[in-house]
Amino acid sequence: MSHTAASLREQFPLLAAAPELHYLDSAATAQIHSAALDAVIKHETTSRANVMRGTYRLAEAADLAYDRARQSAARFLNAGSADEIVFTSGATASLNLVAHAFGSTLNAGDRVLISVAEHHSNFVPWQMLRDRCGIELALIPVDADGRLDLARLAELMGGRCCLVAVTQCSNVTGAWTDVAAIVAAARKAGARVLLDGAQAVQHGPQDVRAMDIDFYAFSGHKCFGPGGVGVLWGRADALAQMPPFLGGGGMIAGVTPEKSTWAAAPQRFEAGTPPIAQAVGLAAALDWMMTLDWAAIREREAALCRRLIEGLVGIPGLRLLGPQQGQRAPIVSFDIPGLHPHDICQVLDSQNLALRGGHHCAQPLLTALGAETCTRASIALYNDEADIEALLAGLDRALRELA
C-alpha cells in the first residue's frame, strides 16, 4: 500500500476535490478520511437507532457498532480493556470530566500540577476546580524554547500532589513532553498522571500502558475522524473511584425517589445519548490509521518541518516560537512584530494557503514566550513539499503586501 503524501491526500474527500488547497491547519482540525465519512453515512442510513436497552434489530445493530467503536479506540491506545474507553464530545469534554469527577475526590489543600504550556482546555477546568474546592494549583514553567522545564518537578509536586495533568505535545511550539520523567516523579509522589493527547494522536497510535499513565484524552477531529466525538481513557481502578460527572439516562444502575445508584464505567460517564455515529466514524479513522507505516510518515513529516523552519529563519524580523532542533512535532509557530497573524493568514488565504493565527487557546504559554499572538502552520500526513514551498512563497508575498 502506498503511503506517499499524494496517495494519502486522495483518500480525503475535501483535499481530493481541491487540489489547489494547501491545508496547513491540521493542529486545529485534521481533514476527515473517506473511511470515516463512509462509516458515518453507512451507520446513519442502515443502523441509526439509540444504543442500550433496545430490543429490536436496528437497535441491536447500533449497539454492536458502538461496542466495536469502543474496541477500536482501545486497540489504538493499547488499553487494557474496552471498558476503559469513555466516549465524550471531544478532548475538552474529556478533560472537564476528569476535572469534575476525579476533582470531586480531592480536598482543600490537595495539589494538581499542570504546566504553562497547556491548551486552555487543560488549564481553565483546573482553575475552576481550585476556585470551587480550594485545591492548590501549581505550574510547571517552560524554557526559552517552550519545552517543559522539569528542573523543579519534585518541588512543584509538593507534599499532597494528587494529579499531574500535562500536554503530550504543545499545540503552539510542537514541543514533546518528557512523559517518562513526569510519570517517574508522579509515582514517587503517589500522584496520578493525565495526558492531553490532542496534538499527538494524528501522528500515530499511542500506547497508554507503555507510558504508564492514568488518563488520556483526545478528539476525533484531530485524527481524521468526525467532529463532536472524543475519548477519555482511564485506568479501570481510577474510573471506578470516580463519581459521575453528568446525570441522566444510561449512567444509572437504579433510581428511586430517595436515591440513585451508578452504573459501572464506562457507562457511568456517558449520560444521555452518546455520539453514536461519530464514534463509529472515529473507529473507522483509527482502524485505518493502524494500517499505516508510521515510521515512514513521521520521517516525512519531520523532513517537511525542517524545511519549513529553514525557510522561516531566513525571513528578517521573524521569530520562531518553539525548538528549532531536536525531536518535535510538525507544528511551527512564528511571530512577525508589527504584523497581526490574522492579516498574514488572510493574505495567505488568497493564495489557497490555510493557516491559523491568534493565541491558539494557549495564552499563558504565549505570555511566557513573550508574544501575544502568532501564526501557526501544522503539518499532517497528507502534506508534501509543494505545501511548504507554497507557504514560503506566500509569506514573501504577504510581507510585501503588508509592509
Name residues of the chain where pLDDT drops below 50: none
CB-hemisphere CA count at 13 Å for 123? Answer: 14
In this predicted model, what pLDDT tens digit does every residue of 179-215 receive, in sequence order?
A: 999 999 999 999 999 999 999 999 999 999 999 999 9
Antiparallel, parallel or unpaired: β 215-219 and 192-196: parallel
Provide the pLDDT for residue 292.
Answer: 98
Q: Is 288 helix (H, G, I), strand (E, B) or coil?
A: helix
Known catalytic residue at 361: yes
Distance, in Å, from the CA atom of 159 to the CA atom of 55, rounded to the nearest integer, reads 52
In this predicted model, what pLDDT tens digit does every residue of 379-392 receive, in sequence order?
A: 999 999 999 999 99
Provide the pLDDT for residue 3.
Answer: 74
CA 369-182-30 angle, 5° bins:
60
Provide the pLDDT for residue 325.
Answer: 85
Please identify which of the residues 133, 162, 305, 361 carries the catalytic annotation.
Answer: 361
Between the CA of residue 177 and those of 125, 127, 207, 233, what are the distances in Å?
A: 20, 22, 15, 19
Query: At 387, phi and psi to the nearest 5?
Result: -65, -40
Provide the pLDDT for residue 326.
Answer: 85
On whether the CB atoms of residues 146 and 173 are closer than 8 A, the answer is yes
Which of these, 211, 208, 255, 256, lies nearest to 232 by C-alpha position?
208
Provide the pLDDT for residue 2.
Answer: 58
C-alpha dihedral, 328 to 330 to 336 to 337, nearest 10°: -40
Map out the domains of the chain with their CATH numbers. Answer: 5-24+293-402 (3.90.1150.10), 37-289 (3.40.640.10)
The three grid cell numbers given for residue 307, joined into one nine-digit string = 524545511
Q: Is 61 helix (H, G, I), strand (E, B) or coil?
A: helix
